[in-house]
Amino acid sequence: MNAEQKEFYRGNILAQLDNARVPTLGEVLLIGLKCGGFPKTDAAEMEREIEYLVAKGLVSIDRGAISAGVKRYKITASGIEYLEANV
């Protein structure tokens, strides 16, 4: 993926989380990415990009209360500001 495609990919993740406004499971994000123009993406690629967004402070990870292995993702205030500035 080139830099422009990565930016679009990450923007897709942020837009999905912004529209959901609740912590979202990775499986749901992956379906959204596949429907949103990245049909060949996989969970590993998505996780790498989410880790980047987390490192930048645009996304946070919520662990499941019952099972710590369950990750849910949520857009941060910085992520919302980024979307608003770049749309």
pLDDT above 90: percentage of residues in the chain: 71
**Of 53, 12, 14, 49, residue with least CA distance to 34:** 12
Q: Mean per-residue pLDDT for 7-33? A: 91
pLDDT at 44: 95
Question: What is the CATH classification number for the domain harbouring 38?
Answer: 1.10.10.10
Secondary structure class of 9 (helix, strand, coil): helix
Q: Work out how many domains the chain is built from and give that number.
A: 1
Segments forming the whole domain that contains residue 31 = 3-86
Q: Mean per-residue pLDDT for 63-79? A: 85
The contacts of residue 20 (CB under 8 Å, 6+ apart) are: 28
